[in-house]
């Protein structure tokens, strides 16, 4: 009897346990699990994917997207065989950068997800939408400063933040600082510059975006005037500084020429130097004049004038040129000198020059000889053609000697005057005299010899040094040195149309500085050296390479490897390995993190290139995801992540599942191969029924016994 009672009790207990298990299983199957919606971060103008957490197969998911401006959009998706519903947010709706809010409603509202967020980042830098402003300014030196603002925008006019920019000036003497002590664009995509000028003139400014490694199309010009400059009071002159016809020059087209620095006393047969300058209608120097001019003399005495050949102005002239010892007038009188632009005869200049006979007694004293030389005079000349003139007995037969070598035979006129123009004379020292000869050519008497020098070759420059010699970044300060033993009246270098003066250093060489052009490429350096006699020597065998990409191929840093996240109290400690190989060194790292692997919305830059960092201020018990990218000195960031690590703050390290597992699509193909659904797993229903019947029968049997 006791054995029977124990057996019945065990059956009752077993039936109760199974019943409880069935009841618990039923409750678990029908418990409502909160749903969640996710939006993938994207770049402005590109599509992104919206998805849900796991739903019942066939459920209708309604996604509501709230754009940064408040506009709401709705899209629908149906849960597939894996229980995930998807919808695509096309590029038409992602042109505005910012944080988007995502709401989810399932099956007409039976389930609601708490709001989630995803971010649309600004796209690539737009050369046309980005700008440097204001484009034109006029500033007093000494009492005012100039302010320029760089505004970085993408193709949809979204501000681009976090870019390193550099303001490049055509002047090497500007003092440029950043307002806010940073040259990194703020949330509005702006960087503000403050400029303190140290000299007057027009300066051009450009912007080099170091992060994107490009030059902005937008440029700015500032004219700096001295406080005492009367031109500054004229608004007309202010605006002339920004004339569109001559960019970078504060003048208009050439209107006329002026002869300047004409000697006060000009004597016959004297070689003189005269300066010629080109001016516009407002009498401002046309520093970029590049026309060709021709000299002439109006009047019956034109044949007695020696003038410079046709000349084409170059960049190094800057609108003015001194024609050294290039003018000579053989006879006394008034010469009406004229110069004309060959392409524009309406642009010309005139000058009347009075030439006197002069007193040459000191230069060539009269001896007992019957021949007197008036020219040439002692000295050094850059022209290798000289006029030999003077007086001798009337109708005398004469011979001209140069370094004791007979050059020519001439006859004095009836008044005893003679004149002879030499052929091309060699550079060097010349001793010239004129002799009277008889009918058989014997020298009867001669003039004292006049010694002079001819120097038509320019100064010899032994070496030109450019520092730095290798490829440089836009706006880099370049130093040049020209070594020569001669004294120069002018030394210049022309770079991309800009002229820079080389000053004489006490050490004996000529030195100057300029900023490298803003655009990438190879630039020829054209040097011009003018001797104290006005002889010009040119050299253009030097060049500079702007933009290191043109010389050395620099790639982005490779991916960071071996990221490990170690949780601690309110923080996570990250460790990783530096990229395996680099053509350019890592400056620092950028850490991305968030509460979803698809939404790493937070970012922080490390201070150095150390491979250990920690993120503080995190919420204990919350799971965070982390990724690390390498950043080089130019702001280039490695593409993608090798690994996304995650950890529960204050908990243990978790192993991050592959993306297929994260989004719930892993094993999708295997579901169809299962023999039964989840409702058929666990204990078989037949045994549950038998156990229940046995339990009930035992209960009735025991009850009857008690009743008896």
- The strand pairing partners of 557, in sequence order, are none
pLDDT tens digit sequence for 125-174: 888 889 998 888 787 776 678 888 999 999 899 999 989 888 888 777 77
Residue 158 lies in a domain: yes
Q: Kindly report the backbone phi and psi dihedral angles of residue 99, in degrees, each rounded to the nearest multiple of 5, phi listed first.
A: -95, 125
Query: What pLDDT is recorded for position 138?
Result: 80
Give the CATH number of the domain where residue 347 resides: 2.60.40.3450
Residue 555 lies in a domain: no
Both 255 and 213 in one domain: the answer is no
Instruction: Give the pair of three-digit tokens for residue 433.
Output: 């005299």
Give the CATH number of the domain where residue 135 resides: 2.60.40.10
Query: What pLDDT is recorded for position 663?
Result: 47
Residue 672 lies in a domain: no
- DSSP-assigned letters across all residues of 391-443: E-STT-EEEEEETTEEEEEEE--TTSEEEEE--PPPSEEEEEEEEEE-TT--E
Whether the CB-CB separation of 176 and 193 falls below 8 Å is answered with yes
Whether the CB-CB separation of 124 and 58 falls below 8 Å is answered with no
Asked whether residue 462 carries a pLDDT value surpassing 80, the answer given is no
Query: What pLDDT is recorded for position 563?
Result: 92
Both 112 and 76 in one domain: the answer is yes
**Of 36-40, 47-51, 337-341, 492-496, which range is least confident?**
492-496
Q: How far apart are CA 328 and CA 305, in angstroms?
A: 6
Quickly count: other Cβ atoms within 10 Å of residue 700's Cβ: 9
Mean pLDDT in residue range 19-27: 41
Q: How far apart are CA 180 and CA 191, in angstroms?
A: 9
Which among 113, 119, 123, 121 has a CA at the least distance from the CA of 39?
Answer: 119
Q: Are strands 311-312 and 292-298 parallel, antiparallel or unpaired?
A: antiparallel
Both 266 and 322 in one domain: the answer is yes
- DSSP-assigned letters across all residues of 201-228: EEEEEEEEETTTTEE-S--EEEEEE-TT
Q: How far apart are CA 325 and CA 337, in angstroms?
A: 15
Which among 238, 375, 415, 383 has a CA at the least distance from the CA of 306?
Answer: 383
Whether the CB-CB separation of 467 and 542 falls below 8 Å is answered with no
Query: What pLDDT is recorded for position 586?
Result: 86
User: What is the rounded end-to-end Cα distance, in angstroms, of the chain?
Assistant: 15
Place of tokens 């991050």: 656
Q: Is the pLDDT higher at 54 or at 362?
A: 54
Both 140 and 238 in one domain: the answer is yes
Query: What pLDDT is recorded for position 703?
Result: 46
Mean pLDDT in residue range 408-419: 90
- DSSP-assigned letters across all residues of 619-646: PTT-EEEEEEEEEETT--B-SS-S--EE
Enter the DSSP assignment of 472.
B
Both 201 and 273 in one domain: the answer is no
Mean pLDDT in residue range 50-69: 92
Residue 364 lies in a domain: yes
Query: What pLDDT is recorded for position 296?
Result: 92
Q: Is the pLDDT higher at 706 or at 54?
A: 54
Model confidence at 233, pLDDT cuts 50, 70, 90, reads very low
Q: How far apart are CA 184 and CA 182, in angstroms?
A: 6
Asked whether residue 338 carries a pLDDT value surpassing 90, the answer given is yes
Both 523 and 494 in one domain: the answer is yes
Q: How far apart are CA 67 and CA 74, in angstroms?
A: 11
Domain boundary among 332, 358, 384: 358
Asked whether residue 682 carries a pLDDT value surpassing 70, the answer given is no
Model confidence at 652, pLDDT cuts 50, 70, 90, reads very low
Both 137 and 230 in one domain: the answer is yes
Query: SS3 of 279, please?
Result: strand
Q: How far apart are CA 596 and CA 40, in angstroms?
A: 10
Both 140 and 237 in one domain: the answer is yes
Q: Is the pLDDT higher at 600 or at 548?
A: 600
Model confidence at 8, pLDDT cuts 50, 70, 90, reads low
Residue 671 lies in a domain: no
Both 643 and 683 in one domain: the answer is no
Enter the DSSP assignment of 153.
B
Asked whether residue 257 carries a pLDDT value surpassing 80, the answer given is yes
pLDDT tens digit sequence for 387-407: 898 889 988 999 999 998 898
**Of 36-50, 323-337, 512-526, 548-562, which range is least confident?**
548-562
Enter the DSSP assignment of 661.
H
Q: How far apart are CA 359 and CA 59, in angstroms?
A: 116
Asked whether residue 457 carries a pLDDT value surpassing 50, the answer given is yes
Residue 220 lies in a domain: yes
Number of domains in the chain: 7
Q: Is the pLDDT higher at 248 or at 641?
A: 641
Q: How far apart are CA 57 and CA 44, in angstroms?
A: 33
Q: How far apart are CA 200 and CA 211, in angstroms?
A: 33
Give me the numbers of helices (H) and strands (E) for the chain, helices first please: 5, 51
Q: Classify burial at 642, counting beta carbons within 10 Å of its beta carbon; exposed 0-12, middle 13-18, buried 19 or more.
A: middle
Quickly count: other Cβ atoms within 10 Å of residue 616's Cβ: 10
Q: Is the pLDDT higher at 441 or at 548?
A: 441
Tell me what percent of the residues of the chain surpass a pLDDT of 90: 21
Residues whose CB falls within 8 Å of the CB of residue 368, separated by 6 or more in sequence, listed in order: none
- Domain range for 604: 561-662
Query: What pLDDT is recorded for position 116?
Result: 93
Model confidence at 241, pLDDT cuts 50, 70, 90, reads very low
Domain boundary among 334, 358, 382: 358
Query: SS3 of 658, please?
Result: coil
Query: What pLDDT is recorded for position 133?
Result: 86
Both 536 and 595 in one domain: the answer is no
pLDDT tens digit sequence for 594-618: 888 877 877 788 878 889 988 888 8
Domain boundary among 392, 419, 454: 454
Both 263 and 311 in one domain: the answer is yes
Residue 147 lies in a domain: yes
Asked whether residue 336 carries a pLDDT value surpassing 50, the answer given is yes
Mean pLDDT in residue range 428-440: 88
Q: How far apart are CA 674 and CA 384, in angstroms?
A: 107
Query: What pLDDT is recorded for position 245?
Result: 34
CA torsion sign for 315, 319, 324, 326 is positive
Residue 673 lies in a domain: no
Query: SS3 of 146, please?
Result: strand
Both 567 and 638 in one domain: the answer is yes
Whether the CB-CB separation of 284 and 250 falls below 8 Å is answered with yes
Q: Is the pLDDT higher at 567 or at 601?
A: 567
pLDDT tens digit sequence for 73-121: 999 999 999 999 999 888 888 999 999 999 999 998 888 888 999 999 9
pLDDT tens digit sequence for 262-289: 988 888 878 788 999 999 888 888 888 8
């Amino acid at each position: 009897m006791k054995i029977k009672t124990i057996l019945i009790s065990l059956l009752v207990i077993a039936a109760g346990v199974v019943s409880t298990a069935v009841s618990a299983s039923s409750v678990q199957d029908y418990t409502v699990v909160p749903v969640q919606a996710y939006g993938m971060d994207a770049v402005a103008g590109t599509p992104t994917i919206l998805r849900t957490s796991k739903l019942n197969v066939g459920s209708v998911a309604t996604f509501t997207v709230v754009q940064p401006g408040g506009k709401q959009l709705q899209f629908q998706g149906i849960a597939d065989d894996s229980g995930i519903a998807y919808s695509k947010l096309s590029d038409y709706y992602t042109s505005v950068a910012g944080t988007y809010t995502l709401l989810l409603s399932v099956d007409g509202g039976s389930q609601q997800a708490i709001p989630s967020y995803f971010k649309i980042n600004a796209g690539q830098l737009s050369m046309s939408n980005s700008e440097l402003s204001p484009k034109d300014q006029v500033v007093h030196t000494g009492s005012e400063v100039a302010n320029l603002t760089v505004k970085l925008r993408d193709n949809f006019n979204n501000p681009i933040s976090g870019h390193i920019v550099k303001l490049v000036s055509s002047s090497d003497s500007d003092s440029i600082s950043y307002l806010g002590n940073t040259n990194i664009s703020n949330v509005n995509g702006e960087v503000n510059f403050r400029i303190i000028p140290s000299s007057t003139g027009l300066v051009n400014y450009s912007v080099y975006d170091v992060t994107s490694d490009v030059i902005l199309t937008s440029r700015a010009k500032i004219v700096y005037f001295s406080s005492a400059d009367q031109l500054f009071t004229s608004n007309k002159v202010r605006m002339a500084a920004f004339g569109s016809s001559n960019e970078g020059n504060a003048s208009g087209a050439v209107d006329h020429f002026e002869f300047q620095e004409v000697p006060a006393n000009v004597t016959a047969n004297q070689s003189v130097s005269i300066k010629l300058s080109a001016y516009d209608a407002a009498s401002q120097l046309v520093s970029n004049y590049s026309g060709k001019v021709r000299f002439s003399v109006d009047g019956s005495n034109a044949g007695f004038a020696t003038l410079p050949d046709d000349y084409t102005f170059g960049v190094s002239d800057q609108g003015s040129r001194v024609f050294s010892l290039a003018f000579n007038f053989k006879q006394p009188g008034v010469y009406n000198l004229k110069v004309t632009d060959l392409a524009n005869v309406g642009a010309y200049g005139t000058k009347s020059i009075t030439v006197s006979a002069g007193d040459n007694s000191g230069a060539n004293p009269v001896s007992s000889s019957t021949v007197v030389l008036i020219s040439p005079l002692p000295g050094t000349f850059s022209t290798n053609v000289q006029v030999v003139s003077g007086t001798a007995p009337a109708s005398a037969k004469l011979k001209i000697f140069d370094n004791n070598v007979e050059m020519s035979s001439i006859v004095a006129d009836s008044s005893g005057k003679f004149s002879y123009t030499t052929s091309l004379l060699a550079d060097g020292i010349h001793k010239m005299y004129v002799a009277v000869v008889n009918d058989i050519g014997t020298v009867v008497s001669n003039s004292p010899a006049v010694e002079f020098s001819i120097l038509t070759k320019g100064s010899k420059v032994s070496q030109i040094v450019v520092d730095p010699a290798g490829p440089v970044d836009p706006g880099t300060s370049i130093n040049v040195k020209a070594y020569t033993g001669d004294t120069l009246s002018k030394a210049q270098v022309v770079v991309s149309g800009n002229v820079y003066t080389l000053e004489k250093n006490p050490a004996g060489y000529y030195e100057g500085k300029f900023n490298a052009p803003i655009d990438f490429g190879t630039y020829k350096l054209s040097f011009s050296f003018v001797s104290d006699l006005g002889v010009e020597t040119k050299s253009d065998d030097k060049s500079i390479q702007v933009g290191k990409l043109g010389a050395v191929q620099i790639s982005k840093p490779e991916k960071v490897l071996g990221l490990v996240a170690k949780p601690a109290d309110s923080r996570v400690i990250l460790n990783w390995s530096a990229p395996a190989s680099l053509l350019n060194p890592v400056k620092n790292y950028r850490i991305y993190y968030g509460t979803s692997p698809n939404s790493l919305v937070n970012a922080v830059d490390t201070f150095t290139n150390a491979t250990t960092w920690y993120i503080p201020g995190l919420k204990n018990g919350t799971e965070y995801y982390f990724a690390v990218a390498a950043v080089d000195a130019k702001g280039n960031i490695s593409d993608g992540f090798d690994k996304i690590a995650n950890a529960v703050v204050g908990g243990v390290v978790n192993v991050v599942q592959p993306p297929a597992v994260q989004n719930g699509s892993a094993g999708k193909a295997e579901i169809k191969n299962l023999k039964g659904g989840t409702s058929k797993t666990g204990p078989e229903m037949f045994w549950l029924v038998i156990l229940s019947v046995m339990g009930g029968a035992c209960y009735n049997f025991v009850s009857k016994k008690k009743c008896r």
